[in-house]
Chain A
Amino acid sequence: MDTLHYLILSMLLFIVGAVGFIVKKNIISIFLCLELMLNAVNLSFVAFSRQLNQVHGQIFVFFVMVVAAAEAAVGLAITIVLYRNRNTLNVDDADVMKW
């Protein structure tokens, strides 16, 4: 298969993630969309790595995964705290950080 197919799939995944991130209100869903975007990027890393016959892209993927795992831990902690304090998972209710 051509690299282009992978990239198209990656792009579709990213768009789904991005649109989901913007339209969804539930914080868990937003999280999932975020992971989706990260993995879309991972996919294109891997695809390029294969085409260019270099290992750099795959190493980068590991970095992204580690960061994503750390980010998931922090994000879920924030989610729990948000629920405890506000009794909601709707991100639109958490809008006090403004002028």
Chain B
Amino acid sequence: MTDYLWLIPLVPLAGAAINGLAGKRFPKPVVSLIACGASGIAFILAIVSFFELLQYAPDQRHLLRVYFTWIASGDFVAKAEFLLDPLSAVMILVVTGVGFLIHIYSIGYMHAEDGYYRFFAYMNLFLFAMLILVLSGNFLMMFVGWEGVGLCSYLLIGYYFDRRSAGDAGKKAFIVNRIGDVGFILGVFLIFMTFNSLNFGEVFRQIAEGADRFPVEAGVGVLTAIGLLLFVGATGKSAQIPLYVWLPDAMEGPTPVSALIHAATMVTAGVYMVVRCSPVFSRAPIAMEVVMVVGVVTALVAATIGLVQTDIKRVLAYSTVSQLGYMFVAAGMGAFSAGIFHLMTHAFFKALLFLGAGSVIHAMSGEQDLMRMGGLRKHTPITFWTMLIAALAISGIFPLAGFFSKDEILWSAWSNGHPFIWIIGLITAGLTAFYMFRLVFLAFFGKARYSDEVRHHLHESPSSMTGPLMVLGILSIAGGFIGLPAWLGPNRFFHFLEPSLAFTLATEHGEPSHFVELGFAALSILAAVTGIYVAYRMYIAHPDRADSLAARWQGIHRLLYRKYYVDELYDAAIVNPMLNASTRTLWKQTDVGIIDRAVNGAGEMIQGMASILKNVQNGLIRSYAAWILLGTVAILLYFSMFRS
């Protein structure tokens, strides 16, 4: 059973290898067939393994497959092992499912691009790395996947490498992620030092069984340290304050990449990791507190920035950062299942939003500025309807997917005794609804604000693009029903995830009162509807009101539009001092002044000595003969006089 588990990541790797090595010579249909076939096979295998997992009793759903010993050095043993449990099953389904749809979409979106095969090779490679990350049975292999997805993200952000901004964005993403990765790997070291093992099951069992060794920590203990270090890694990968700055720039990549990597899957790796390590976090209240606060602040800050951005993809990027903040809020409160639930529904509707945005950009001949769109509803009806569904879903309108997951998080905030977090979450929900419908209204309604030439090219996207849009649209509508709130029915999703959280300490839940919960659900819908209504007033009923508001609150508008000047702040506080120090101290003083001088000095010294000795080598045979003779005489003298 499940012995084919290793095939799930390996099939995309094979696809990446074939396309990467030989794809240049294949015609485009062959390239796309290989890439989509590989991701499709991975998806089918993921479904099969999911159903096999279901056949086990709930407490048996922890299938560890050990393939070979990867590293063995003294006490330290790392095995190549895959773990299939409910948590990783959900993740592989989301990754391969959404990944497969986006591969199909890319056939249409990328058809005119150079390096078609390169794109698909990277995409498959990304799937491979992401599947390693979520299937890994220990921290070290997880780190391999963690770095692998970072590499693919870098490669795909810089896909248009002839554009300077794309190259810079790729580097920024890579370097910012590296800062987080330092925290992650330090956390892994600390785990090994503490537990002498890196296997998930082993580590968590030790924590759960050694209650006297690992109590719930009131202060800063080793579990808190591990949790905080791991969370540093998560802030990098999942774009949380203070390391979120790379994600908006990552929009330089092709839109399918933004959908797959920078919205649906890779950026959720941090959330997945925190939930996977929930046995650690649930015993480290301070770490939890940090996760929650960082999450909620990120959610609010990113949402406010998203209010005024005019690039369609940047709005979505800040929206992603904001939604990831929600997931961390959930994890930080101990509502780990709710975090994963939101991760899944978010994957559906955010992938849909990005793909829809890609479809809009495709139709607009590459235009990304919302201010130069308008009235697209008639020209691209399928894109419009699917994006409307996604916008309703992310806003949290009943009964779409986003409502159930977001409401679960907000309700957890209230019932776990964090009213302040709940209020901020509610405000953010309202802001989310506002900026999403601002995007929809600006793009699809109102007067057309583009040139006649663009109008001439306007067209609905080919079926390879609209097909995935419709599938994701259905998922965005129906995806939430597997996790119904208590007042509607049993929550199958949470029940399914329970075995993965077996070693996690349960957090106290308030008195479950369906009536109260229903009231709070109504409040969050009200917040969303308010956001939508305000957007309607500002962008449809009175199209000039947005500008007059921006003019009246010029300072705030500017602050938001320039993203709180965080990039400038980082430049001034970190990047430039580092550059200057490197230029002055490391380059000019150390490298040129000391190292170069030492190397050149050694060379010059030898040259100086040689300039005397080289006179011996004058090319005159007779002088050589004389030297040979002298040498022979000297040797003979030495032997006859001193050695006898």
A interface, CB within 8 angstroms of B: 18, 21-25, 30, 91-92, 94-99
Contacts and interface: CB of A to CB of B under 8 A. Distances in A.
Interchain residue pairs A-B with the least CB separation, the first 5: A98-B619, A95-B619, A99-B614, A97-B619, A91-B621
9 contacts: A18-B625, A21-B622, A21-B625, A24-B622, A91-B620, A94-B621, A95-B618, A95-B619, A95-B620
B621 A98 contact: no
Contacts of A18: 625, 629
Given A18-B629, A22-B629, A96 B622 contact: no
Interface string B628-644: 01000000000000000
Contacts of A23: 622
A74 B155 CA distance: 65
B617 interface: yes
Given A24-B622, A98-B617, 19 more contacts: A18-B625, A18-B629, A22-B625, A22-B626, A23-B622, A25-B622, A30-B621, A30-B622, A91-B620, A91-B622, A94-B621, A95-B618, A95-B619, A96-B619, A97-B619, A98-B618, A98-B619, A99-B614, A99-B617
Nearest to B621: A91
A82 B618 CA distance: 18
A96 B619 CA distance: 6
Nearest to B626: A22
Nearest to A24: B622
Contacts of A21: 622, 625
Contacts of A95: 618-620
A18 B503 CA distance: 96
Nearest to B620: A95
Interface residues of B, number: 10
Contacts of A98: 617-619
Residue in A23, A24, A92 with the greatest tally of chain B CB atoms within 10 Å: A92
B348 to A, nearest CB: 76
A95 B593 CA distance: 42
A21 B621 CA distance: 9
Q: Residue among A21, A23, A30, A99 with the most chain B CB within 10 A? A: A99
Interface in B598-624: 614, 617-622
Nearest to B623: A22
Nearest to A25: B622
Contacts of B614: 99
Interface in B454-474: none
Contact of B622 (A22, A97, A99): A22
Nearest to A19: B629
Contacts of B617: 98-99
Contacts of B619: 94-98
B606 to A, nearest CB: 14
Contacts, number: 30
A83 B617 CA distance: 23
A32 B567 CA distance: 87
A78 to B, nearest CB: 11
A51 B550 CA distance: 120
Contact of A92 (B620, B626, B629): B620
Contacts of A96: 619
A83 B514 CA distance: 115
A51 to B, nearest CB: 20
A76 to B, nearest CB: 16
Contacts of B622: 21-25, 30, 91-92
A96 B620 CA distance: 9
Contacts of B621: 30, 91, 94
Contacts of A92: 620, 622
A12 B397 CA distance: 118
A18 B617 CA distance: 20
Nearest to A27: B621
A99 B613 CA distance: 11
Which of B614, B618, B619, B626 counts the most chain A CB atoms within 10 A? B619
A45 to B, nearest CB: 18
A91 B620 CA distance: 7
A7 to B, nearest CB: 15
A38 to B, nearest CB: 14
Nearest to B611: A99
B640 to A, nearest CB: 14
B228 to A, nearest CB: 65
Contacts of A99: 614, 617
A62 B614 CA distance: 39
Contacts of B629: 18, 22
A51 B585 CA distance: 80
B296 to A, nearest CB: 76
A21 B626 CA distance: 9
Most chain A CB within a 10 A radius of its CB, from B622, B626, B629: B622
Interface in B34-87: none
A95 B618 CA distance: 7
A47 to B, nearest CB: 19
B619 to A, nearest CB: 3
A5 B626 CA distance: 27
Interface string B326-339: 00000000000000
B616 to A, nearest CB: 9
Contacts of A25: 622
A25 B623 CA distance: 11
Contacts of B620: 91-92, 95
Interface in B199-223: none
Nearest to A96: B619
A2 to B, nearest CB: 21
Contacts of A94: 619, 621
Contacts of A91: 620-622
B581 to A, nearest CB: 45
Nearest to B615: A99
A92 B626 CA distance: 14
A91 to B, nearest CB: 5
A97 B624 CA distance: 12
A94 B621 CA distance: 8
Interface in B473-529: none
B610 to A, nearest CB: 8
Contacts of B618: 95, 98
Nearest to A33: B625
A23 B625 CA distance: 10
A25 B621 CA distance: 10
A16 B625 CA distance: 14
Contacts of A24: 622
Contacts of A22: 622, 625-626, 629
**Residue from B614, B620, B629 having most chain A Cβ neighbours under 10 A:** B620
A21 B618 CA distance: 17
